[in-house]
A and B are shown apart, each in its own frame.
Chain A
Amino acid sequence: KNQVEQSPQSLIILEGKNCTLQCNYTVSPFSNLRWYKQDTGRGPVSLTIMTFSENTKSNGRYTATLDADTKQSSLHITASQLSDSASYICVVRPTGGNNRLAFGKGNQVVVIP
């Protein structure tokens, strides 16, 4: 079973609308959780990072939340733009010397005009 599960798998939203992506993980204990954005044909790029003790982190129109008790994270996109069309990947880094990141399969977002 994958250690990081994301939902919805894909969604289509109208330009200007908001959306929220979900990430549930089982990695424990963990060092940090990142949301990456992957544009078509490109490598993933980090959007936000949160450690165990952080609850929320913003990067422009992107706001990530973290509930370490329920092992859930969300990424909220405000006032979506066409350039937000991408795959958003939740990545959890375990603690300790292990550098093996746990990846979700991503949320595919399509923003339409």
Chain B
Amino acid sequence: EDKVVQSPLSLVVHEGDTVTLNCSYEVTNFRSLLWYKQEKKAPTFLFMLTSSGIEKKSGRLSSILDKKELFSILNITATQTGDSAVYLCAVPNFGNEKLTFGTGTRLTIIP
């Protein structure tokens, strides 16, 4: 059965700090890994990674995949209070119709 494990479960930092969120996975027939941000409402898509070692970047957020070690990291630099959210990692299942989600990392930014 496919598995996605995120760490830490929660993280509290001060505004301006840099954070690194981790996602490790065990999946049959890996296709891609996706990151989502969930504030108080529905998850919103951040990144999809398919190739090892290639960084995806959007503003202060960046993510990279290591297919050999089966993990991905999401970095957020110069954090702001608006970055407070739960960050979810997901991988498509073997049949590719479904996503297996991790339980998420709850990030809290203190002003």
| A and B associate in one complex | no
Instruction: Name B residues whose Cβ lies closer than 8 Å to a Cβ of A.
Output: none
Instruction: Name A residues whose Cβ lies closer than 8 Å to a Cβ of B.
Output: none
